[in-house]
Amino acid sequence: MAFSKAVGVIGGMGPEATVDLMTRVIRKTPAVNDQDHIRMLVDNNPKIPSRIAAIIEGTGESPVPVLTEMARGLEVQGASFLAIPCNTAHVYYSEIQQAVTIPVLNMVALAAAAASTEITAKSARRVGLLGSSALSQTGLYEPYCRQVGVECLYPDEQQQADLMGLINAIKAQNAQPEQLEQYALIARALAAKGANCLIIACTELSVVDAALADDIRRIDALDVLVDHIIASATRH
């Protein structure tokens, strides 16, 4: 299989999640030598202003100027399309897409569509969102889920606070076993609330997917993005 296109990765949110994306792309790419792999132009920039401070706390500077600068830089370097391995950063998707002339994959829209396909129920179609508090505050997934006939469910207030604690601990490379156990309980609670499928909607949580039991039905937004990167790199 020939991969003629290069992907530009707007990374650093967080750095480990960006490396995780690259690793997943490499592992899923059918290749027998170096030349068979996809060219990845990666700006792994941990200096992007905090999305949490800007969106949730309302005290931080907008990350838009840095994100759009990164997007334009990757386009100049030769990227054929862009990918953003951060769910929350998709709050700024429109601004990023408008800054460049190449396509920007929309991980949120793609994950919502994938979850809809996974749900076989004809009624009471619900997804449980495991991600940052910005998801509920901005309704980031809501319009994309409505388009495919799916309702969004969220953890309760205390569970969401615990989830944010885990996300921050992963960023600090200090996630504790009890936090991972609580994460699994939160996932179970969303399923009990009526979620037909869960969406791992934070790339930090993608890193600790093994903490969830195999019988928990879920879609990992990062995996969906990886599949579309590989598919997009082959198109003419």
CA–CA dist 162, 208 (Å, integer): 15
Beta-bridged to residue 7, according to DSSP, are: 40, 81
Tracing tokens 């992907």 back to the chain, one arrives at: 7
User: Among 145, 152, 197, 202, which one carries the catalytic annotation?
Assistant: 202
Closest CA relative to residue 224, chosen from 75, 42, 85:
85
| Catalytic option among 86, 145, 152, 197 | 86
- H/E segment holding residue 190: helix 177-192
To the query of whether residue 202 is one of the catalytic residues in this protein, the response is yes
Q: Is 86 annotated as catalytic?
A: yes
* Token output for 188: 């179970």
Which among 206, 215, 221, 191 has a CA at the least distance from the CA of 127? Answer: 191
Active site residues per annotation: 86, 202
